[in-house]
């Protein structure tokens, strides 16, 4: 069973190594532990982790600002992908957004990240733009995707 927990300053230290490990396994230019800690200090930032059997298996970091959710970072441990963890985390973000009156969700994704792009498309996200040379490490563009929120809570 997938259990979701809000990450706070108090419990992040306990799960820091697991979260950073997932991050490093998921991205060519991973966030540092300090980057996650900085998000915990931002009032607009929400950081949630998914656990199975007490082990962190994924996380989502999003901002809730100006009636919009902006997805900042999102990853599932490679071993646990395609097991509903990502959907559960995204559902939590959407539910929080709906409760706060958010009207849309947006994100940036690498064109080369075909798995993530397919996942977002399955959730109803569509391409709305492109940010040239967005990723410093490769000068790769970012694809901007968005989805309007409905009043239906997600799973």
pLDDT for 153 = 47
Q: How confident is the model at residue 136 (pLDDT cuts 50, 70, 90)?
A: confident
The band of 137, judged by pLDDT with boundaries at 50, 70 and 90, is: confident
Average pLDDT value over all residues in the chain = 92
Range of the domain at 64: 3-148
pLDDT digits (tens, 9 = 90+) for 107-125: 999 999 999 999 999 999 9
CA distances from residue 23 to 11, 83, 98, 125, 129 in whole angstroms, order as listed: 18, 18, 27, 23, 25
Q: How does pLDDT run across 21-58, given as a tens digit for each residue?
A: 999 999 888 999 999 999 999 999 999 999 998 899 99
Is 31 within a domain?
yes
The CATH number of the domain holding residue 9 is 3.40.630.30
Quote the CA–CA distance of 151 and 55 in Å, as a whole number: 32
* Domain-located, residue 155: no
Residue 150 pLDDT grade (very low, low, confident, very high; cuts 50, 70, 90): confident
**Dist. CA 138–CA 23, nearest whole Å:** 18
25 vs 154 pLDDT, higher one:
25
Report which of 40, 38, 79 is spatially closest to residue 56, judged by C-alpha positions.
79
What's the distance, Cα to Cα, between the start and end of the chain in Å? 14
22 part of a folded domain: yes
């Amino acid at each position: 069973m997938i259990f979701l927990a809000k990450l706070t300053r108090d419990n992040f230290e306990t799960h820091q190594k697991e979260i950073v490990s997932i991050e490093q396994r998921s991205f060519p230019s991973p966030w540092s532990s300090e980057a996650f800690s900085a998000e915990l200090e931002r009032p607009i930032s929400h950081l949630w982790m998914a656990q199975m059997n007490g082990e962190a298996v994924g996380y989502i970091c999003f901002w809730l600002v100006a009636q919009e959710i902006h997805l900042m970072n999102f990853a599932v441990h490679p071993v646990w992908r395609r097991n509903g963890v990502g959907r559960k985390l995204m559902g939590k973000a959407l539910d929080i957004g709906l409760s706060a009156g958010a009207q849309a969700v947006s994100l940036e994704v690498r064109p080369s990240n075909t798995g993530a792009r397919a996942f977002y498309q399955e959730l109803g996200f569509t391409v709305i733009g492109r940010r040239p040379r967005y990723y410093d490490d490769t000068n790769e563009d970012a694809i901007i995707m968005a989805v309007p929120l409905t009043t239906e809570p997600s799973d």
